[in-house]
Amino acid sequence: MTESGGETAYAPFDLTGKVALVTGGNGGIGLGMAEGLARAGAAVAVWGRDRAKLEKAAARLTRCGVGVHTAVVDVSDPDAVTSAVEETVGCLGRIDAVFANAGVGGRTRFLELDAAELHRVMAIDLDGALWTLREVARHMVARAGAGDPGGSLVTVSSVSAIRGAPTLQSYAAAKGALVSVTRGLAVEFGRHGIRANTIIPGWIHTEMTERSFDRPDVQEAILKRVPLRRWGTSDDFAGLAVYLTSDASAYHTGDTLIVDGGYTVS
């Protein structure tokens, strides 16, 4: 426990001794989650494909005073993921939570969609998440068999999984599949104390949405449908990442948590 203002902070949110892995954690939502985890005391592993961005993320996270490990990983390559999980466990000792966040955008008119574009999006947004979750779950199950059960598997989906949007069919297909995959994981691995949940972000200002953010007409169309009247930021995911990693969420599994400023209920 820690003391703050004369009061004792809620102990389950203290992540000291825990290790979290965030794929695509060198920017956007992923970096917001990674920083929240580090500030709560967790050692953090960040995977990405851009080495320069990884180095910047590492410098930022290291200032939180926790262990930090980064790796250049193409999550669409199952062998690379297997090796990267082994490396991460070797460096940080364990993985208590994984956030399968790595993703690419995909906006193509449906009548012009071809196999190459579909496979490009699926390879990262769906396959990459599956390979990551599989290898981390393998580690967690082995740990449970050795008398140390528990763990948190988290997928990062998109509001396009639950709200229709033109030209986003390939992206929505991948992100929608993650919701179903995660529910299956919650059922299959619950006996090992492993939880699985999905985060669904709404309109968040990141590099992926920069072009939309810079268009006044898009800004107006979006903001009038968001009750909180602002775009989300990467910081809006820090607390949720801490919660899903922490013991406070020990009985929370199979859920879909929407972080969209009220967009989907407006």
Of 127, 173, 134, give the one whose Cα is nearest residue 153.
134
Q: Which residues contact 186 (CB under 8 A, 6 or more apart)?
A: 195, 196, 197, 253, 254
**Which residue in 212, 101, 204 sits closest to 157, CA to CA?**
101
Given a contact cutoff of 8 angstroms between Cβ atoms, the answer to whether 103 and 125 are in contact is yes
Q: Verify whether residue 171 is a known catalytic residue.
A: yes
Query: Cα dihedral sign for 28, 29, 30, 36?
Result: positive
Query: Distance between alpha carbon 148 and the CA centroid of its chain, in Å?
Result: 24
Catalytic residue among 171, 243, 251, 263: 171
**Residue written as tokens 């917001």?**
32
CA distances to 198, 199, 202, 227, 241 from 257, in Å: 6, 5, 11, 17, 11
Mapped onto helix, strand or coil, the DSSP state of residue 232 is: strand
- Which amino acids are annotated catalytic? 171
